[in-house]
Amino acid sequence: MKTIAFLGLGTMGSPMAVNLCKAGYTVHGWNRSDNRTGPLLAAGGRTAASIREAVRDAEVVITMLPDAPQVEEVAYGPEGILANALPGVLLIDMSTIAPQSSIELARNAAAHDIRVLDAPVAGGEAGAVEGLLSIMVGGDADAFEEARPVFEALGRTITHCGTHGLGQTVKAANQLVLAINMQACAEAVVFLEKSGVDLETALDILSGGLAGSNVLTRKKITFLNRDYTPSFKMGLHHKDMGIVTDTARAIGAAIPLGSVAAQLMASAVARGDGGLDHSALLRGVELLSGHGRPQE
Q: Are 58 and 91 in contact (CB under 8 A)?
A: no
By three-state DSSP, how is residue 60 classified? strand
Q: Which of 22, 171, 219, 239 is labelled catalytic?
A: 171
DSSP 169-189: HHHHHHHHHHHHHHHHHHHHH
**What is the DSSP secondary structure assignment for residue 293, as one 8-state letter?**
P
pLDDT tens-digit readout, 215-250: 999 999 999 999 999 989 999 999 999 999 999 999
Of 225, 228, 206, 231, residue with least CA distance to 217: 206
Report, at the CATH architecture level, how domain 169-288 is classified: Orthogonal Bundle (1.10)
Higher pLDDT: 9 or 35? It is 9
pLDDT, mean of residues 172-187: 98
Residue 295 pLDDT exceeds 50: no
The domain limits of the chain are 3-164, 169-288
Reported pTM: 0.92
Catalytic-residue membership of 2: no
pLDDT tens-digit readout, 81-93: 999 999 999 999 9
Q: Are strands 26-30 and 46-47 parallel, antiparallel or unpaired?
A: parallel
Q: Which long-range contacts (CB under 8 A, 24 or more apart) does 18-23 make?
A: 18/42, 18/43, 18/45, 19/128, 19/131, 19/153, 19/154, 20/45, 20/150, 20/153, 20/154, 21/45, 22/153, 23/153
Q: What is the CATH number of domain 3-164?
A: 3.40.50.720
pLDDT, mean of residues 142-168: 97
Q: Given this model, what pLDDT does residue 33 score?
A: 83
The Cα 170–Cα 174 span in angstroms is: 6
Q: Do domains 3-164 and 169-288 have the same CATH topology?
A: no
